[in-house]
Amino acid sequence: MSKKVVNPRLQRKKKIEECWAKFLKKHPDEKSCSIAACKMFYKDLTVPCSACGFANKCSEPDKRNLRCQKCKKKIWILSGTFFRKVRRFKPWLAAIWFIERGVEVSAAELARLAEVATSTALAIFKKLSVVVESKMGKEIQFIPSAKFIKAFLRRSRETPAGKHPREEETAAFSKGGNKSDRILHEHQMHRANRPPRPALTQAELDLANQLIGEAEKLILSLLTLTPTRFDELLLQTGFSINQFSAAITNLELFELVERLPGDQFILGPQADLSHSHRPQVPATCKQKDDIVAGFLDFVRSNYRGLSRKYLQCYVALYWAFADKKTWKKGAVLKACIAFREVTDDELITYVTPLKVAAPSALAA
Ligand SMILES: [Zn+2]
């Protein structure tokens, strides 16, 4: 049987088109979208008057306001809701539709489909992410923002003038980072800014397999992307200093391990090669690394890059797209209906904290 080769880009495009066709079937035009929006808040379209309490029958649900039939006061239908300032509902309902079905779509793609400006689509996703973020429960991991540094390729108003977008991380860190975070931060900056290295050749791999013995495997199994101190590591292995140094030298040779200032160690850039050698990485560290890896994939395939400022927004958005147990059909819309208005000012002043919250479910 011949194996069918699938182009991931075409596959993605096809998925988006199919999802969009289904959306249009349910919501063919702006009028049907705004009626649907009104129905979210008023079952059988009965709008109570906030002044006199009269139950008005809403005859034109696609209008933003109506006049109370009893006291003649103007009633703003969506006043105080998440959708208060929404001018066109189609891009909003479409964004929610895509998220709930787990079909990843970028702001640029949503803008093209729903015929709005890309900046409008971006703001829609950010505002939705604020709602999603508010639903993060107790099952979360706090991950240093420095671990996401590879994704920081866009400028924001927080980016220092004339500097690369990654320098935003340094700026954020210098305002509130503690000493133990400093080494990780410097390491991640250094790693992100240097050119990518070629993968090991077959000859190098063969040599690595010869040199990597039980001692090296044990050290690898203890290391993560969070720095571990030399004395701590030595104690955990139970090796003599000579034994330990020999093993570390072998690991450093193949960049499986990297030595950081202050005699601390971290998994090196070639360490993914050695997954089979590291059977028992501490569960939470592995979870965090998995979340970061999955998120970076999400960013790569949808946005090329993002600014540090909105990192937390995008992590929330990634959760909504990926975790279909929590964010099943109807769940995002329901959360929006129960939420308040998210203002533009709120987005402008939004800044991702140094520790990013990410639901543990993302590591599964
Ligand atoms: Zn009234």
- What domains sit in the chain, N to C, each tagged with a CATH number? 202-269 (1.10.10.10)
Distance 178 CA to ligand 1 centre (A): 57
Say yes or no to pLDDT of 194 above 70.
Answer: no
Give the tens place of pLDDT for each residue, 294-333: 999 999 989 889 999 999 999 999 999 999 999 999 999 9
Distance 85 CA to ligand 1 centre (A): 22
Say yes or no to pLDDT of 263 above 90.
Answer: no
Distance 39 CA to ligand 1 centre (A): 20
Q: Which residues contact 259 (CB under 8 A, 6 or more apart)?
A: 248, 252, 265
Distance 61 CA to ligand 1 centre (A): 17
Q: Please, what's the b/e burial string for 100-133 (b: 16 or more CB within 10 A of its CB; e: otherwise)?
A: bbbbbbbbebbbebbebeeebbbbbbbbbbbbbb
Distance 77 CA to ligand 1 centre (A): 13
Distance 70 CA to ligand 1 centre (A): 5
What's the mean pLDDT in 256-265? 85
Instruction: Give the separation between CA 354 and CA 181, rounded to whole angstroms.
Output: 10
Distance 57 CA to ligand 1 centre (A): 12
Say yes or no to pLDDT of 277 above 50.
Answer: no
Q: Provide the strand spans (E) within the chain.
A: 46-48, 55-57, 65-67, 74-76, 140-144, 228-229, 257-260, 264-267, 355-359
Q: Which two tokens stand for residue 250?
A: 């072998």
Task: Report pLDDT for 283.
Answer: 63
| pTM of the complete model | 0.77
Distance 47 CA to ligand 1 centre (A): 10
Give the tens place of pLDDT for each residue, 224-253: 877 888 999 999 989 999 999 999 988 888
Distance 59 CA to ligand 1 centre (A): 16
Distance 128 CA to ligand 1 centre (A): 32
Pairwise pLDDT comparison (100 vs 279), residue with the higher score: 100
Distance 94 CA to ligand 1 centre (A): 34
Distance 75 CA to ligand 1 centre (A): 8
